[in-house]
Amino acid sequence: MRRTVPLILSFTAGILMILDSYFKIPIINNFATDYLMRSISVSVAWAAGLGSLNLIRLHIRHISSKRQNYQFSYVLIGVWLFMLTCGIFLQGNTANPFYQFFYSNIQVNLSAAVYSLASFYLASSCYRAFRARSVESTVLLVSAAIVMIGSVPVGAAIWSGFPAIQGWLLKIVNDSVIRGWSIGLTLGGLSQSVRNLVGIERGHLQAGE
Amino acid sequence: MQGVNVPAGITASLQPFGIYLGVIVTFGVWSMLYRENPFYRICEFAYVGSASAHGLVTTFANTIKPGVLTNIIQNGNYWEIIPICLGCLIYFQPFRTKMWIARYPMAYWVGYNAGYALTMRTAMPLLTQIRQTMLPVIVRTANGISLVDSINNILFSLFVLFTMSYFLFSMNVYTGRYSFLLRVARVIMMVAFGAGFGTGVGTRISLLIGRLDFLFSEWLTLY
Amino acid sequence: MNNSTIWHRLAAIDSRILYLALLVMVAVPLLRPIGLPLVILDEVRDTLALIASFPEGSVVWLASEVAATNAAELRPMITAFARYLVMQNHRIIIGGFWTDGCNLARIWLDPIFEEMGAVYGVNYVNLGYRPSSTSVLDECRKDIINAYSDRDIAGRKLSEMPVMAGVTKASDIDYLVCMSPGTPGTSTYISAWRATGEVDVIIDCPTSGMYTTAGNNYQAGITKGLVGGLNGSAQVEQLIGYPGKAIRGMDAQGTGHFAILLYLIIGNIGYYQIRRMDREAKEHAGG
């Protein structure tokens, strides 16, 4: 019951997808589109709150056990509750101007600002940690330098050859390496899917073990 | 399901403060660059809370609400209650003794995606990529043979082979006098890593440009 | 050992000075752009020509896989493409599987559509966010309206909109323009629609960071167009004659790249100088 039923469920869903893709059997094709795919869309949507609820559970625990910096958990829960209440109960939900005000001015700006920190940390790490210690790392550095210079107008202004070399590096060397990885990854993914389908790989069924 | 309406006057009176809110949170986050401080922490926690709530709200407004109102109530697709229940079983995950129930939806999704991957959806890009790796060794153009394109084609195919064989762990192809090929493969991949790093720098710098553009154009209206 | 050489001082420099220097180097050209000419790539030119080859009234799915985190690159991109698509008089269906995607498209694009005279529901529609990209796109292969519960982002009926006339399934879409900062992104649409033969023309618009992987699909002919990063956005802006944020940002992008290069060079020279000095000091002590 705890293990066999999920395995049967998993196998049935997978095999239906395969049959739908490779065979023209109207009853299976219609079932796959009308019920299987629809049920996936619906069930995933209803499960979307798990992460959010776990986050809130974690922060309630922080507050109740008065962990270090627990005061900030009040901010998180407060903002979460406010946005959730506005988004669910206001007319038009996300389209409501009141919700849009907080979304576009706080959420969007916070998001962009947090990620912009990466540019500063990148600069610092380039200065302190990126060392040409071997032939390979020197090659990496030179390649990166050419791509960086070649992709901006100032690079072309310095020497018109930079964009051409950059283009060659990207189109011939980079694309071929990515192609190699892509083929390997796809083959690996296929074998992993077979293992999942026939129940050899059961990592996702470990919950509550 | 009409929902509560906020008087238009309240929203309109808030609008002028919108930009300042954006500026405050931007500097709040950037204050971390000077040193760790409570202002940054508040912004950080507010961001996580707001992003998490927004995900839920968007899913509710765009998927759950129309799904229930249109598909189930209006069109009478009552069978959709079954996947709704299945999806909701995932909420047993936090409860230690009932956690196993959460396996049911998880198994269903994994099975679907495993089946999805074993169809033409994966095979077509794979086969196309393999076909497009076998490029003509001699490239003929209207003016005769293009030496540059021919060499590039040969290099492209060789580089793909080098890269793939580097990851052949089940048999060692680079032994004895062929061991230099291992080094060649590694150097080629380093060039690709470098290209990836170079373009990655572009993305990071763009993030900074985006923020500065907001401060200069929308807040200070310098341009 | 002498720890007061210039290299030692440079190695011990406060990170905040590095941050400030980067900030200044990016900010100055943003305020005072030099306006260096852009190098227009063939692939960008070909992409715009490909879009122009579709007749008026063609249906385009504009995949708004964007978020505030990649807005700096993809906002100019999606804005420039939206302008171009309206100029071609194509019918635009905006969809997206990133939580922010369709909402940001509404904030960024609606004013542009209004400015260009495009009417909501007639020339364009925003379908709104859906989780589970693979199954929703699979559903769209049979019935787009049903996959989206007959509702757009604001809860209006899709089946009553003229823009959706004759568009019942994915194969009714003529081509797809996909902003792609990762997954869900172009690879999702390739698996769902390109591999199954529903949509043959996919135009990939990745961020700079994703540009290296996007080239693989473009070379193989799986995607038919490729415009990448802020640089690509700037080229589109120039080609369609609407200079915007991307063109303005390109000089700043250049100085930003040079700042990073400078840091790499100084950091490495300093590292080797200090290593040499340490070795010499050890030899002195030993000898």
* pLDDT for res C35: 86
C117 and C62 together in one domain: yes
> Of the ranges A204-208, B132-136, C169-173, which one carries the lowest mean pLDDT score?
A204-208
Cα distance between residue B20 and residue C108, in whole Å: 19
Number of folded domains that form chain C? 2
Model-wide pTM > 0.90:
yes
For residue B58, pLDDT over 60 is answered with yes
For residue C97, pLDDT over 80 is answered with yes
CA of C213: which chain B residue's CA is closest?
B196
C73 CB near a chain A CB, below 8 Å? no
CA of B132: which chain C residue's CA is closest?
C220
* pLDDT for res A207: 60
The token pair that represents B170 in the structure block:
């089940």
The token pair that represents A51 in the structure block:
């992460």
Q: What is the CATH number of the domain that holds C229?
A: 3.40.50.10160
C47 and C188 together in one domain: yes
How far, CA to CA in Å, does C27 sit from each of A195, B33, B208, B214?
A: 52, 17, 9, 12
Buried b (16+ CB within 10 A) or exposed e, C226-241: bbbbbbbbbbbbbbee
C239 and C253 together in one domain: no
Give yes or no for a contact between B8 and A91, defined as CB atoms under 8 angstroms apart.
no
Q: What is the CA radius of gyration of chain B?
A: 28
Residue tagged 């018109």 (tokens): A160
Check C103 against A103: CB less than 8 A apart. Answer: yes
Residue C213 lies in a domain: yes
C256 and C214 together in one domain: no
CA of B160: which chain C residue's CA is closest?
C216
C192 and C254 together in one domain: no
Interface subset of A 112-171, CB within 8 angstroms of C? 112, 114-115, 119-120, 122-124, 126-128, 130-132, 141, 144-145, 148-149, 151-157, 163, 167, 170-171
Cα distance between residue A109 and residue B23, in whole Å: 8
Cα distance between residue A159 and residue B198, in whole Å: 18
Q: How many CA atoms lie within 13 A of B183 on its CB side?
A: 8
C186 and C160 together in one domain: yes
C112 CB near a chain A CB, below 8 Å? no
**Average model confidence (pLDDT) for chain A?**
93
A14 CB near a chain C CB, below 8 Å? no
- C181 three-class SS: coil
C250 CB near a chain A CB, below 8 Å? yes
In SS3 terms, chain B reads as: CCCECCCHHHHHHHHHHHHHHHHHHHHHHHHHHCCCCHHHHHHHHHHHHHHHHHHHHHHHHHHHHHHHHHHHHHCCCHHHHHHHHHHHHHHHCCCHHHHHHHHHHHHHHHHHHHHHHCCHHHHHHHHHHHHCCCCCCCEEECCEEEHHHHHHHHHHHHHHHHHHHHCCCCCCCCCHHHHHHHHHHHHHHHHHHHHHHHHHHHHHHHHHHHHHHHHHHHHCCCC
Cα distance between residue B209 and residue C249, in whole Å: 7
B54 CB neighbours in chain A (<8 A) are 83, 87, 103, 107
B186 CB near a chain C CB, below 8 Å? no
How close C246 comes to chain B (CA, Å)? 10
CA of B63: which chain A residue's CA is closest?
A45
Count of CB atoms within 10 A of residue A91's CB? 15
Interface test with B, best of C66, C78, C107, C151 (most B CBs within 10 A): C151
pLDDT tens-digit readout, A141-189? 999 999 999 999 999 999 999 999 999 999 999 999 999 999 999 999 9
Task: Give the whole-number percent of chain C exceeding pLDDT 90.
Answer: 93
Mean pLDDT for the stretch of residues C40-46: 96
C71 and C21 together in one domain: no
B205 CB neighbours in chain C (<8 A) are 26, 252-253, 256-257, 260
Q: Of C67, C130, C215, which has the smallest distance from its Cβ to A111's Cβ?
A: C67
How close B166 comes to chain C (CA, Å)? 19
Check B86 against A43: CB less than 8 A apart. Answer: yes
Neighbours of chain C (3+ CB pairs under 8 A): A, B
ipTM value: 0.92
Residue C201 lies in a domain: yes
Residue C75 lies in a domain: yes
For residue C1, pLDDT over 60 is answered with no
Q: What torsion, rounded to 10 degrees, do the Cα atoms A147, C191, C64, A167 define?
A: 20
A148 CB near a chain B CB, below 8 Å? yes
Q: Of A40, A48, A153, which has the smallest distance from its Cβ to C254's Cβ?
A: A153
Helix boundaries (H) for chain A: 4-22, 26-31, 38-47, 50-64, 71-89, 97-102, 108-128, 135-150, 153-158, 161-168, 175-198
Check B66 against C69: CB less than 8 A apart. Answer: no
C162 and C21 together in one domain: no
Interface subset of A 101-140, CB within 8 angstroms of B? 101-120, 122, 135-137, 139-140
For residue B1, pLDDT over 70 is answered with no
Residue C160 lies in a domain: yes
Residue C279 lies in a domain: yes
Interface test with C, best of A34, A152, A159, A182 (most C CBs within 10 A): A152
Mean pLDDT for the stretch of residues C129-158: 94
Interface test with B, best of A8, A12, A74, A80 (most B CBs within 10 A): A80
Check A111 against C229: CB less than 8 A apart. Answer: no
B65 CB near a chain C CB, below 8 Å? yes
Count of CB atoms within 10 A of residue C122's CB? 12
The token pair that represents A170 in the structure block:
């990207």
Distant-in-sequence contacts of C110-113, Cβ < 8 A, 24+ apart: C112/C79, C112/C82, C112/C83, C112/C86, C113/C82, C113/C86
Give yes or no for a contact between C228 and C208, defined as CB atoms under 8 angstroms apart.
yes
Task: Give the whole-number percent of chain C exceeding pLDDT 70.
Answer: 99
Mean pLDDT for the stretch of residues C68-76: 93
Q: Between vectors from CA A112 to CA A107 and to CA A114, what angle results, nearest 5°?
A: 95
Residue tagged 């796809």 (tokens): A186
A5 CB neighbours in chain B (<8 A) are 104
CA of C214: which chain A residue's CA is closest?
A175
Residue C37 lies in a domain: no
Cα distance between residue C47 and residue B26, in whole Å: 36
Count of B-C CB contacts under 8 Å: 151
Mean pLDDT for the stretch of residues B139-159: 94
Give yes or no for a contact between C96 and C105, defined as CB atoms under 8 angstroms apart.
yes
Q: Which of B74, B114, B102, B72 is nearest to A39 (CA)?
A: B72
Task: Give the whole-number percent of chain A exceeding pLDDT 90.
Answer: 89
Strands B139-141 and B144-146: antiparallel
How close A153 comes to chain C (CA, Å)? 5
Residue C1 lies in a domain: no
Cα distance between residue B165 and residue B159, in whole Å: 10
C165 and C233 together in one domain: yes
Check C254 against A127: CB less than 8 A apart. Answer: no
Check B206 against C128: CB less than 8 A apart. Answer: no
C84 and C201 together in one domain: yes
C164 and C211 together in one domain: yes
Check B119 against A17: CB less than 8 A apart. Answer: yes
**pLDDT band at residue C287 using 50, 70 and 90 as cut-offs:** low
For residue C94, pLDDT over 60 is answered with yes
pLDDT tens-digit readout, B96-138? 899 999 999 999 999 999 999 999 999 999 999 999 999 999 9
Helix or strand run (H / E) with residue C201 = strand C201-206
Q: Which of C172, C178, C188 is nearest to C132 (CA)?
A: C188
Residue C204 lies in a domain: yes
Q: Which domain holds residue C215?
A: 42-243
How close C240 comes to chain A (CA, Å)? 19
pLDDT tens-digit readout, A60-70? 999 999 999 99
Helix or strand run (H / E) with residue C92 = strand C91-96
**Average model confidence (pLDDT) for chain C?**
95
Give yes or no for a contact between A32 and B33, defined as CB atoms under 8 angstroms apart.
no
B96 CB neighbours in chain A (<8 A) are 208
Q: How far apart are the first and last CA of chain B?
A: 44
C229 and C274 together in one domain: no
Q: Which of C82, C87, C92, C114 is nearest to C162 (CA)?
A: C92
Q: Which of the 8 DSSP states describes residue C172?
A: G
